[in-house]
């Protein structure tokens, strides 16, 4: 009798891992580059994002999801490893994950190790900085052009002139061939004539091939290049918007009283052709930039809609977890920062996150719970019934999919190195608190933004006497770290 009870108990504990391959849930893992939470499901009334809004209607919108660093490669590596950037020790574009953590088991690798076919299409890790052990087959990248005819012609002209005078082409920076084209372009071409559409075409082909093997569960990751600058989308998406309807942000000034080194963003936007050399963005040019950004969002939205429609057509919806995320936030004129992130502020670290899982109880709901991108790894494993690897630093938010109002994390953490200092930002329910330390570990600056009275983070109030007590409390919470902030 005792032996039979033990057998039943073990069966109950591990049944989810004993599911047949046909019963295991698939994962469609969607990522968009530089997309901030500017979608209809996030309350934006201007953007046209019907397909992501449909996904939100059958899934969950995470209103307060934060990346661990507002830069493409560090953010993606952090998410895919389930570790904060202080653990991965990757804070720039360049290093591979296995240079600092050679024995790491990544999110897709954990699925591969548990019988899944894992595949990467497009920009999932950073282009050129991938992780072969994560995938069952080599990552695929489209050879379709990222730029339209104007951009390609500008690149060709730049390269030709450089060769004529024997000038060596720089790898990056102002004047490099990649930046010769305009910051925005609306070529009159079909969706699949540009990179993101062609990636979608390949992903649809992959879905059809995978559907033909129902005994093989899959983890399919699809990464889109837009709306990273340059904003290049077919003309029909540009035609969805009009310049005169696009408002400019009212707070085109840096946060008051913020440390000068901290209150900056990236420069790459200013390297593109036709962007004013003096960096003075007129209202007219600013609206055109926003126009291009919105068109790029709608282009990605349509691409994702095609994938979701194919998922339905193939009868895979009820067997597939779908998660969509943007790798970090983005500034489009707020604080006078255009086309950038590269800092520790809300607009750079807050990003879109949508999740839809078969059987979730709170489908169509939103949550204001604080979640971090390191939480995605354990969440997908739990939803799929996979064991967790050692060393994960996130918390599965599966409970939120059933109860979005439940008590959750006390804080979310992001980091960024700037001006020779290292900054750690802590977002609580009410505040964003940032400590900047020098190489000796000494605090050289603090920032405090009260989201109850200043949701746009327009003024740093860390040095105001009335906030002295809050600074002490938040400093202690910061010192305790992310482990204590878990629910």
Tokens 């990222």, residue located? 146
Per the CB < 8 A criterion, the answer to whether 349 and 329 are in contact is yes
| Residues with active-site annotation | 72, 126
Nearest to 376 by CA among 392, 356, 396: 396
Contact 425, 349 (CB under 8 A): yes
Parallel/antiparallel/unpaired status of strands 353-356 and 320-326: antiparallel
CA distances to 381, 388, 411 from 392, in Å: 11, 8, 17
Cis peptide leading into 227, omega within 30 of 0? yes
- Of 319, 290, 302, 337, which is closest to residue 384 (Cα–Cα)? 319
**What is the rounded CA–CA span in Å between residue 23 and residue 138?**
26
| Burial class of residue 36 (count of CB atoms within 10 Å of its CB; 0-12, 13-18, 19+) | buried
User: Which region holds residue 264: left if phi is over 0, alpha if psi is between -120 and 50, else beta?
Assistant: beta
In this structure, are residues 483 and 391 in contact, taking their beta carbons and an 8 Å threshold?
Answer: no
Distance CA 14, CA 16 (A): 5
Q: Are strands 60-66 and 353-356 parallel, antiparallel or unpaired?
A: antiparallel
Centroid of chain to Cα 148: 25
Rg (Cα) of the chain, in Å, rounded? 23
**Helix (DSSP H) and strand (DSSP E) numbers for the chain:** 15, 16
Report the candidate in 480, 483, 461, 481 with the shortest Cα–Cα distance to residue 471.
461
DSSP string, 302-342: HHHHHHHHHHHHTT-GGGEEEEEEESS--EESGGG-EEE--
DSSP 387-443: PPPTT--S---HHHHH-TTS---S-EEEEEEETTEEEEEEE-SSEEEEEEE-TTS-E
Q: Which two tokens stand for residue 322?
A: 């779908």
215 burial type by CB count under 10 A (0-12 exposed, 13-18 middle, 19+ buried): exposed
């Amino acid at each position: 009798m005792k032996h039979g009870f033990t057998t039943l108990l073990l069966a109950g504990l591990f049944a989810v891992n004993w599911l047949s391959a046909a019963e295991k849930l698939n994962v469609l893992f969607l990522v968009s580059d530089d997309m901030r939470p500017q979608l209809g499901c996030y309350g934006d009334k201007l953007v046209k994002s019907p397909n992501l809004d449909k996904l939100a209607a059958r899934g969950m919108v995470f209103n307060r999801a934060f990346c661990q660093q507002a830069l493409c490669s560090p953010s993606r590596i952090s998410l895919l490893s389930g570790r904060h950037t202080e653990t991965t020790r990757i804070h720039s574009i360049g290093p591979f994950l296995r240079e600092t953590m050679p024995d790491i088991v990544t999110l897709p690798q954990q699925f591969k190790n548990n019988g899944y076919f894992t595949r990467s299409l497009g920009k999932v890790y950073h282009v050129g900085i991938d992780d072969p052990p994560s995938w069952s087959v080599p990552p695929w990248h489209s050879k379709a052009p990222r730029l339209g005819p104007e951009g390609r012609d500008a690149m060709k002209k730049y390269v030709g002139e450089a060769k004529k005078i024997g000038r060596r082409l720089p790898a990056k920076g102002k004047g490099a061939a990649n930046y010769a084209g305009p910051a925005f372009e609306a070529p009159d071409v079909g969706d699949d004539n540009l990179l993101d559409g062609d990636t979608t075409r390949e992903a649809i082909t992959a879905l059809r091939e995978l559907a033909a093997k129902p005994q093989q569960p899959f983890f399919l990751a699809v990464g889109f290049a837009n709306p990273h600058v340059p904003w290049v989308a077919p003309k029909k998406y540009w035609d969805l918007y009009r310049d005169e309807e696009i408002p400019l942000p009212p707070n085109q000034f840096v946060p008051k009283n913020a440390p000068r080194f901290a209150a900056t963003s990236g420069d790459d936007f200013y390297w593109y052709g036709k962007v004013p050399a003096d960096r003075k963005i007129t209202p007219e040019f600013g609206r055109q930039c926003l126009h291009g950004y919105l068109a790029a969002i709608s282009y990605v939205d349509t691409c994702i809609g095609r994938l979701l429609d194919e998922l339905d057509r193939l009868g895979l919806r009820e067997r597939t977890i779908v998660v969509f995320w943007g790798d970090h936030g983005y500034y489009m004129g707020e604080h006078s920062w255009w086309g950038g992130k590269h800092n520790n502020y809300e607009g750079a670290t807050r990003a879109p996150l949508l999740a839809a899982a078969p059987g979730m109880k709170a489908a169509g709901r939103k949550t204001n719970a604080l979640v971090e991108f390191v939480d995605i790894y354990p969440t997908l494993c739990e939803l799929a019934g996979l064991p967790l690897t050692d060393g994960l630093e996130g918390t599965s938010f599966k409970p939120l999919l059933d109860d979005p109002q439940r008590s959750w994390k006390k804080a979310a953490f992001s980091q960024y190195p700037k001006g020779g200092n290292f900054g750690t930002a802590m977002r609580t329910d009410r505040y964003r608190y940032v400590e900047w330390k020098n190489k000796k570990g000494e605090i050289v600056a603090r920032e405090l933004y009260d989201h109850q009275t200043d949701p746009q983070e327009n003024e740093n109030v860390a040095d105001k006497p009335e906030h002295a007590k809050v600074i002490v409390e938040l400093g202690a919470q910061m010192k305790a770290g992310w482990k204590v902030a878990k629910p």
